[in-house]
A = this chain, B = another copy of it.
Amino acid sequence: MSFSPLINHLITALRCLPGVGPKSAQRMVFHLLERDREGGRQLSQILEEAISKVGRCEQCRTLCEEPICRLCNNPARDHSLLCVVETPADVMAVEHTGGYRGVYFVLMGHLSPLDGIGPEDLGVSLFRSRLARGEIREVILATNPTVEGEATAHYFAELIKEQEIRVTRIAHGVPFGGELEYIDGGTLARALLGRAPI
């Protein structure tokens, strides 16, 4: 026994969302149908619109509905400073610091040979042609401090070293507000290695 066909279809369709299992999908369906049909209708329309229109910025590969995103199009940004990040969410994280005025290059992932994700999937050709235009003076590699992120950063660092461009990596060290006692050994070792005069 199960619900009526359309309700079953909707429960199945909602499970394409990450983190939504059968019970939460069922809860979502009843919430939408009993309490928020207007919200559900809007969600349906905006989802369709976003899926049809959102593509990638031709310059930085981030997700956006215009050919070139608003950050790349902003003449007030420093277009000689390029920050390489893994995802659009990382762009937001760097923007929220309020201290960065350059532009971005979004890999949309990291090198992961086991998943079949190689340099081409990260837009390495676009990245090369961007460097070849000669506008960039410094590339900041801000991939995640994970094994894959480090490997990706090294790959891009090697690429850039062929040219006369400064390459930097975001600092590793103890996070602000943390207590040494609870910080893992690897991080603490990097923090000691990277010590700076005060």
Contacts and interface: CB of A to CB of B under 8 A. Distances in A.
A27 B30 CA distance: 23
Interface string A7-49: 1011001101111000010111111111011011111111111
Nearest to A14: B43
Interface in A30-74: 30-34, 36-37, 39-51, 53-54, 63-66, 69-70
Interface of A: 1-7, 9-10, 13-14, 16-19, 24, 26-34, 36-37, 39-51, 53-54, 63-66, 69-70, 87-89, 92, 95-96, 108
A19 B64 CA distance: 26
B54 A48 contact: no
Contacts of A48: 41, 44-45
B69 A4 contact: yes
A31 B53 CA distance: 16
Contacts of A18: 24, 27-28, 31
Contact of A32 (B6, B16, B96): B16
B30 A89 contact: yes
Nearest to A39: B16
A54 B16 contact: no
A76 B29 CA distance: 29
